[in-house]
Amino acid sequence: MNKLVEIKNLEISFQDFHGAFKAVRDVSFDIYEGEALALVGESGCGKSVTAKSLLGLIPEKDGSIAEKSEILYQGENILTYSKKRWKEYCGQECGMIFQDAMAALNPTVKIGDQIAENLRVHQKISRKAAKEQAIAALRMAGIPQPEIRAEQYPHEFSGGMRQRSMIAMAMICQPRLLIADEPTTALDVTIQAQIMELMKSLKEKNRMSLLLITHDLGVVAGIADRMAVMYAGQIVEIGNSRDIYYRTRHPYTYSLLKAVPSLNGSHGRRLEAIDGMPPEAGDILKGCPFAARCRYCMQICIEECPPKYEFEDGHFATCWLHDPDADISDCKFQTGGNLCNQE
């Protein structure tokens, strides 16, 4: 598969009243054409900031991307785009949907007009033709009676319908890459599943790539081809979803998986919350960022940053347990096999 996006050594810093801190630390990963890649991790680990950098949304006044960082879109570094190229790229080639559709929609403009306007920003097209396409996009996003709905305002829509409208708005320009940042977090479970199903079918129909961001691994289980697990601004494990689920290689990923009821097959069994808190964004990290919470922590983990180990094709994890000298006799999860049997 061809690479649509290549992120190399991404480092993003912010300035607050304590000084500068790194929200994203040396992150590298690719997004292939037509794949759904899930970026998962606890709140505050740097998922949204990573996504925003792909759309040029890091506020210049308090945030900065390190000079060594590259974000290649079809081989070209977007960080060096001209204003004109940015405008073409955002919306037309890369679309984004957020958790809070209400905040992203204009409350004073009819839904159909907002979607049509988004198209007109990017394409020379008459008002009437844009409106027709907006109605078609609403229909495609599963909104019943789209001709009537197009004439309504956001407050007349339910949460799920608003999220569908956001998807229609993002999809109308037929982007190659859709970034969905916690798109279903505000919705109830049934609607979550419907929205995920919608995104999956649109991805397949349009052969677009999807970057799905979530703190909840259960949400992306049926849709992600690959997963990247983020912790304290770093990617600690990445690989095909099946490898991540069944041949988990990082203790943090393992803890996340055990916290999802539908995945560990343990209805009624106590779910394991991950004890402790992630490091603060401003903390100077020495050694493994997960060390303070890791039940397998060894002396070397506190002293040195773990290197990246490769397992199956394209499956990487940064954890000292994979060093040939590590004692892994007590460590069941990274020996492979089905997660459900690994207690």
Ligand X SMILES: Nc1ncnc2c1ncn2[C@@H]1O[C@H](COP(=O)(O)OP(=O)(O)O)[C@@H](O)[C@H]1O
| 136 binding ligand SF4? (CB under 6 A) | no
**DSSP character for 194?**
H
For residues 302 to 321, the per-residue mask of contacts with ligand SF4, x marking binding by CB under 6 A and - elsewhere, is ----x------------xxx
Determine which residue in the list 13, 14, 164, 202 makes contact with ligand X, applying CB under 6 A.
14
Least distance CB 243 / ligand SF4 (angstroms):
17
Q: Residue 264: which of 191, 333, 188 has the closest Cα?
A: 333
CB atoms within 10 A of CB 304: 12
| 53 binding Mg ion? (CB under 5 A) | no
Instruction: Could you list the beta-strand ranges (E) of 67-141.
Output: 70-73, 76-77, 94-97
Least distance CB 90 / ligand SF4 (angstroms):
37
Query: Binders of ligand SF4: how many residues, by CB under 6 A?
Result: 13
Q: Which is nearer to ligand SF4, 4 or 339 (CB)?
A: 339
Q: Which helix (DSSP H) or strand (DSSP E) does residue 212 occupy?
A: strand 209-214
CB 6 within 8 A of CB 70: yes
Among ligand SF4, Mg ion, ligand X, none, what binds residue 321 when CB lies within 5 to 8 Å by partner kind? Answer: ligand SF4
CB 230 within 8 A of CB 39: yes
Q: Residue 119: which of 104, 131, 101 has the closest Cα?
A: 131
Q: Which is nearer to ligand SF4, 186 or 300 (CB)?
A: 300
| 99 binding Mg ion? (CB under 5 A) | no
Q: Which is nearer to ligand X, 259 or 326 (CB)?
A: 259
For residues 271 to 290, the per-residue mask of contacts with ligand SF4, x marking binding by CB under 6 A and - elsewhere, is -----------------x-x
Interhelix angle 159-171/189-206, rounded to 10 degrees, is 10
| 251 binding ligand SF4? (CB under 6 A) | yes
Query: Binders of Mg ion: how many residues, by CB under 5 A?
Result: 1
CB 18 within 8 A of CB 282: yes
| 231 binding ligand X? (CB under 6 A) | no
| 19 binding ligand X? (CB under 6 A) | no
Provide the pairing of β-strand 70-73 with 63-65.
unpaired
* Sequence-distant (≥ 6) Cβ neighbours of residue 269 within 8 angstroms: none
Interhelix angle 127-140/111-122, rounded to 10 degrees, is 120
* Amino acid present at 342: Q
| 46 binding ligand X? (CB under 6 A) | yes
Task: Report the interface residues with ligand X, using CB under 6 A.
Answer: 14, 16, 23, 41, 43-49, 59, 62-63, 281
Task: Report the interface residues with ligand SF4, using CB under 6 A.
Answer: 251, 288, 290-291, 294, 296-298, 301, 306, 319-321
